Amino acid sequence: MSKKGYWIALVDVTDPEAYKDYVAANAVAFGKYGAKFVVRAGRNEQPEEPAGTRHVVIEFDSYDKAVECYHSPEYKAAVEFRKNAAKARLVIVEGV
């Protein structure tokens, strides 16, 4: 059985209205690759270094699916919307 894959994103949204276009566009890729949101914004505490204004954890059935989603044409199209709406740090990790 393969281990799940996760995207962990720390985001600073710079244009909330334009960011809505990114969210709408990324839904296409996330639907295709079976993404499930584990964390999507919400309350947070940042006791050490600043870690963005929005935090997201997305689960995929496997690490490979998580990587495929990121490199998909559907997600690349969504990133074009994000470029002018937010700065993001993203890591794709394999679960335990």
Nearest to residue 2, comparing CAs of 62, 69, 67?
Answer: 62
Tokens of 60: 């995929």
Query: Is the pLDDT reported for residue 1 higher than 90?
Result: no
- Domain count within the chain: 1
Query: Is the pLDDT reported for residue 23 higher than 90?
Result: yes
CATH code of the domain covering residue 70: 3.30.70.100
Q: What is the pLDDT of residue 16?
A: 94
Query: Is the pLDDT reported for residue 2 higher than 90?
Result: no
* First CA to last CA distance, the chain: 12
Query: Is the pLDDT reported for residue 92 higher than 80?
Result: yes
Instruction: Print the domain residue range for 17.
Output: 5-94
